[in-house]
């Protein structure tokens, strides 16, 4: 994707027509007039067509944001609403008309971020291991979130290396930001391998255990390594190319 306008790009993705979250913020009007509490059925009716919601909409939904916040906390305890993190929620699976994927949750929990490293490599079938925690990269500090949907891990990467991802549709048709196969591998090596001296054929065969290597674009990998200003990554690309030719 490149790094053009990269931070502002996240807002446009997470509020894209596919997700239609933006329309929720614009079109909602108070539906409870003259009462302090909102009934759950009314609440659900307004939100069941959206994958998630935040406390930012509470003022449009009810006359008292504080009262509605307390009610939502009650519904969380009752299992009707799921708290993804502070201020971010989704209706329970049985209460929503649309699905929500772990990929989308990973994007919205901590922004700016994109899915990469082990989870992305597993997604592309490039490593044999099944990966359950969703691994992402962010220009913010390292962070970890756990909720009913699983574990979400975020590692810091320098701003100059924050590129090489694209918006792909998840299983429910929503845009999710994920590294390309080449960038996911570059990210993993960049953050997990200390020295270029470790890059030899035994490392590729025994440590990485890469598979489906034919899907990699070596020219793209070289450009990524150059843009990340990493000599060790350039050496890895040369080593991997030589290994493949054998």
Among 101, 115, 116, 140, residue whose Cα is nearest residue 7: 140
> In this model, does residue 14 exceed pLDDT 60?
no
Instruction: Tell me the per-residue pLDDT of 74-128, one tens digit each, with 9 for 90 and over.
Output: 999 999 999 999 999 999 999 999 999 999 999 999 999 999 999 999 999 999 9
Count of CB atoms situated within 10 Å of the CB of 226:
13
Are residues 167 and 150 in contact, defined by beta-carbon separation less than 8 angstroms? no
Domain locations in the chain as residue ranges? 6-91, 102-245
Out of 6-20, 104-118, 123-137, 218-232, pick the least confident: 6-20
Q: Where are the alpha helices (DSSP H) in the chain?
A: 6-14, 21-27, 40-47, 58-61, 65-78, 102-109, 117-123, 181-192, 201-202, 218-227, 231-245
Given phi > 0 = left and psi -120 to 50 = alpha, else beta, which region is 20?
A: left
Q: Among positive and negative, which fits the CA dihedral 245, 207, 192, 145? A: positive
d(CA 102, CA 58) in angstroms, rounded, equals 24
The C-alpha atoms of residue 91 and residue 11 are separated, in whole angstroms, by: 22
Confidence (pTM): 0.83
């Amino acid at each position: 994707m490149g790094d053009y306008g990269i931070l502002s790009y996240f807002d446009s993705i997470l509020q894209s027509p596919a997700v239609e979250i933006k329309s929720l913020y614009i079109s909602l009007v108070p539906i409870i007039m003259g009462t302090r509490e909102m009934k759950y059925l009314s609440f659900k009716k307004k939100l069941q067509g959206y994958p998630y919601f935040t406390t930012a909409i509470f003022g449009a939904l009810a006359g008292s944001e504080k009262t509605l916040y307390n009610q939502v906390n009650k519904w969380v305890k009752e299992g009707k609403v799921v708290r993804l993190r502070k201020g971010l929620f989704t209706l329970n699976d049985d209460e929503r008309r649309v699905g929500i994927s772990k990929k989308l949750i990973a994007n919205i929990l901590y922004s700016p971020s994109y899915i990469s490293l082990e989870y992305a490599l597993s997604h592309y079938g490039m490593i044999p291991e099944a990966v359950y925690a969703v691994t992402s990269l962010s220009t913010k500090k390292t962070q970890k979130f756990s909720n009913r949907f699983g574990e979400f891990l975020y590692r810091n990467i320098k701003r100059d290396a924050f590129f090489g991802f694209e918006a792909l549709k998840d299983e429910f048709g929503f845009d999710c930001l994920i590294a390309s196969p080449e960038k996911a591998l570059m990210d993993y090596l960049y953050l997990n391998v200390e020295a270029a001296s470790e890059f030899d054929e035994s490392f590729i065969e025994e440590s990485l255990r890469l598979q489906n290597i034919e899907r990699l674009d070596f020219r793209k990998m070289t450009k990524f390594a150059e843009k990340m200003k990493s000599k060790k990554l350039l050496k890895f690309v040369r080593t991997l190319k030589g290994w493949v030719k054998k």
